[in-house]
Amino acid sequence: MSEKKASVLQGFKAFLMRGNVVDLAVAVVIGAAFTNIVNSVVKGIINPLIGAVGTKNLDSYSSCLKGPCTNTGDSATGVWILWGSVLGATLTFVITAAVVYFLMVLPMSKYLAKVEARRKAKEGTQEIIEVTELEVLKEIRDALVAQRGMGHSQR
C-alpha cells in the first residue's frame, strides 16, 4: 500500500514539475492581472464613449420584455432583458481577445516560425555536409580500390 502511495505521489510530483503546469499557472496569474487592465479600459474609456450617446453605465441599458416593468434590481416587476451588461461583457471579451492575440499570440507565432525556419535551414546544411562527406569518402574508396587493382596487376 505504501509503495502505491509513493508512486502516486511521485507521479503527482512529476505532473507538477512538467513545464505545461508551470506555464499554465503563470498564464492564470497574468490573465487575472490583465483582466483588471481590460476592465479599467472598458470602464474608463469605452463606457464614457458610449455614455456620450446615452448613459455612462452599460449595466443600466435594459428592455422590458413583458410589462408592466417598474423599478430595477430586487424590487423589479415584469421581465427585464439586461442587454447592457451583456454588451459590456462582450466588449471586455473582445478587447481582451484582441490584446492577447496581437500582443502575445501573433508575436510568439512569428518567433516560433523563425526558430523553425532556422532549424530547418540548419538541418538542410547538415544534410548537404553529410552528403558531401559521403561523396568524398566514396571517391577515396574508389581511388584506393583502383590503386589496389593497379598494384595487383603489376605483380
DSSP labels for 96-155?
Answer: HHHHHIIIIIHHHHHHHHHHHHHHHHHHHHHHHHHHHHHHHHHHHHHHHHHHHHHHHHH-
Can you tell me the distance from the alpha carbon of 58 to that of 84, in angstroms, rounded to the nearest whole number? 5
pLDDT attached to residue 114: 92
> In the numeric block, which cell numbers belong to residue 95?
478587447
Q: Is residue 84 within 8 Å of 56, Cβ to Cβ?
A: no
Average model confidence (pLDDT) for the chain?
78
pLDDT band at residue 136 using 50, 70 and 90 as cut-offs: confident
First vs last Cα of the chain: how many Å apart? 80
Average confidence (pLDDT) over 49-70: 75
**Which string of b and e fits 65-87 if b means at least 16 CB within 10 Å?**
eeeebeeeeeeeeeebeeebeee
Can you tell me the distance from the alpha carbon of 38 to that of 91, in angstroms, rounded to the nearest whole number? 10
DSSP state for residue 53 in the 8-state scheme: T
Q: Is residue 66 within 8 Å of 46, Cβ to Cβ?
A: no
Average confidence (pLDDT) over 92-118: 85
Cα-Cα-Cα-Cα torsion 58, 59, 63, 67, nearest 10 degrees, comes to: -160
Average confidence (pLDDT) over 106-121: 88
pLDDT attached to residue 48: 80
**What is the reported pTM?**
0.50
Encode pLDDT of 29-45 as tens digits.
Answer: 888 888 888 788 877 88
> In the numeric block, which cell numbers belong to residue 96?
481582451
